[in-house]
Amino acid sequence: MSWRTLNLGELAHIVGRGSSVRSPRGEHPLDRAQREDADNLMLLCADQHDEVDAAGGLDLFTVEKLRRVKQEHEDRIRHVTGLGSDRATTVVRMVGSVHGNQVELSRQTAATAVIARDRYPLFLESYTRHGLEIDLRGVPGESQAAPYTASQATASRAYYRMATQLVDGVIERQLRPGITRDAVRHVSVFGFARLPLLVHLGSRLDDTVPTDIYQRHREDESWVWREEDGLAPNFAARVDHDVPSGREAVVLINVSGAIGAQEVPAPLRGMRRWEIRPVGAPTGPDIMAARGCLERFAEALRGFFAELEAEVKMLKRLHVLPALPMSAAIVLGRVHHPQVHPQLVVYERLSGCYVPTLEVGGPSGSSVGTVARSAGGSSGWAV
C-alpha cells in the first residue's frame, strides 16, 4: 500500500530481557548476559509477538515450547536452503470428493510431503503462489451420490465432460507453458478425486518431465511417503478369462480391493480378460504405504502394456475396472501411451455396479454413451 519496503518483523525474547515477573518468562534462570544472544531470540510478526508474551498465554508459551518451535523451524530452513536448485519441484494438486468425502490438501500439506523427499516446492507468483491447483469441488455433480439411473447417467456424462475440461485447462494454460520455458523441471502430483479423473490427470502429465506421485495414508492422514519397512510386493498380470482375442478386452486391476468375475458387467463377460494384482500379498486400501510399492506397480503396468502390444495387435479398446489407490490411478494414466496402446475405457462403481465413465486415449471428453453401445449392442446400462 505504501510502495515502500518496511521491516514488519519483530525480535522476540524467549526468556524475557528482564528478570522480573513483568518480563515474559523473565524469571527463568538463564544468565542475563545470554538473553540478547541469537539462541534466545525469535523473529515474529507483531501479532505473534503480542500473543506469545500475553500474560494469559504464558502457561502455553513456555521457554521449553518456544525453544522447540525455534529449533524445529531452524532445522527445516537449514534443510530446505541446503537443497540445490535441481531439487526444486512444481506442485500439482487435484482436489475433489469421493463418495461425498473430501480431504485437506493444502499448500502446507504438499510442502511437508515434498520436503520429506529432499525437495523444495515451487509456489511461483505466476501459479497464484499455491502451485497448480485443480479444484473439482465446484463442478456440478461432484458430490452426486444418487442411484445410477438414466437421468443420472446423463448427469455423469456432463460432469466428466466439465471435469476433464477443467483438468485440461490447467495443464495447457499453466503447466505446459512452464515446461516449455524451462521453468518446470520436476513435478510433484497430489490427487484426491474419482479414479477415472485421476487416470485422466496422469495421461495429461508430460512424460519428458521427471514426476513424483504422492499417496494419502489413512493411518495418519498425511501424504508423506513411508520409509521402506520391508520388501514392496511385486505385481503381475495373468489371463483371467481365456477366450480368443478380439478388438476389445477387459482388465481387472485389483490392488486396493478385489473385483470378482461376477461383478464384470454383462456386455464384457464374453471378452478376453486379464487381472493385475499383488503377488504374495493381499489386496487392501493401505497397500501403497511406501513409494517402492508404487514403483513396482508401474513396472507391472509397463510389462502388461508391452505384452498387449506384442501379442494382441488387433486390440483397440481396453475396458478397465479399477480397484486402485489414488496414486496408482495416476500412474495408470501416465504409463499408458495413447499412440501405442489401446484406448482405455475407465469404469466407476456406482450404486453397486461398474459403469463406463471416461475414455483415455481417444478424443478429450468422449461420450461414455458410445462406449456401452460398442461393448455389445444391448448393454443393460442406463445410457
Question: How many angstroms separate the Cα of 144 from the Cα of each of 102, 134, 136, 139, 367?
Answer: 13, 19, 13, 10, 19
Nearest in space to 164 (alpha carbons), one of 369, 367, 382, 381: 367
**pLDDT of the residue at 224:** 94
Q: Which three-class secondary structure state does DSSP give residue 301? A: helix
pLDDT value of position 151 = 62
Neighbour-count burial of 353, counting CB atoms closer than 10 A to its CB (0-12 exposed, 13-18 middle, 19+ buried): middle
Per-residue pLDDT tens listing for the chain (383 residues): 555 666 778 999 999 999 888 899 999 999 998 999 999 999 999 889 999 999 999 999 999 999 999 988 887 777 667 666 678 899 999 999 877 677 888 888 998 999 888 888 876 444 444 468 899 988 887 765 544 555 666 777 888 999 999 999 999 988 998 888 888 889 999 999 999 999 999 999 988 899 999 999 988 889 999 877 667 899 999 999 999 989 999 999 999 999 999 999 999 999 999 999 999 999 999 999 899 999 999 999 999 999 998 887 889 999 999 999 999 999 999 999 998 999 999 999 888 889 999 999 865 444 454 444 344 333 344 43
Residue 330, Cβ density class (10 Å: 0-12 exposed, 13-18 middle, ≥19 buried): buried
Q: Which of 222, 228, 227 has the alpha carbon at shortest distance from 111?
A: 222
pLDDT of the residue at 256: 96
Note the pLDDT of residue 128: 45
* pLDDT recorded at residue 336: 96
For the entire predicted model, the pTM comes to 0.76
**Radius of gyration of the chain from its Cα atoms, rounded to whole angstroms:** 26
| Parallel/antiparallel/unpaired status of strands 234-241 and 272-279 | antiparallel
The predicted pLDDT at position 362 comes to 63
